[in-house]
Amino acid sequence: MARTEWTKTNIPKHMLTVIDRYLDSDFARERGLTSRTDVILGALRMLFERDGFYPHRPRFEPMDVTNERVRIVDNALQRITTVRLRSRYLLCELCNARECIHIDFALSLPDVHRLLPTRSRVSRGW
């Protein structure tokens, strides 16, 4: 979204201290939140979705699948991640991990499952 579509608001300074502490936590790292804006938008979105003021979206949505990768929209994190389809494993670029919730979602997609080598599916329990 272009920054010209944004506006400013004020919050108490002590809330910024809490936000900064949150940004240093594993919670923020796991959610991919890297800025004060990320935290504030995530908190507002959760509140509005919970109270029915914001359309609830699924956590993950597939964008596209190729032979080498699947791109996934993570609506909770407001991020797009690429999961690379390697011959012996999958790699999530957002988490920089071989096992994460994005890979679990990728594995639930029939198009991705069809692309995995049969041997890998058996050895990994896919």
List interacting residues with Zn ion (CB under 5 A).
Answer: 92, 94-95, 100, 102
Residue 50's alpha-carbon distances to 6, 57, 97, 108, in angstroms, are 23, 11, 30, 26
CB of 105 to Zn ion, least distance (A): 9
CB of 22 to Zn ion, least distance (A): 20
Walk across the sheet containing 90-92 and list its strands.
60-65, 69-74, 79-85, 90-92
Chain CA centroid to CA 31, Å: 7
CB of 15 to Zn ion, least distance (A): 29
Q: Which is nearer to Zn ion, 19 or 92 (CB)?
A: 92
Q: Which is nearer to Zn ion, 40 or 94 (CB)?
A: 94
Q: What letter would DSSP give residue 88?
A: S
Q: Which residue matches tokens 């900064």? A: 20
Q: Which is nearer to Zn ion, 33 or 100 (CB)?
A: 100
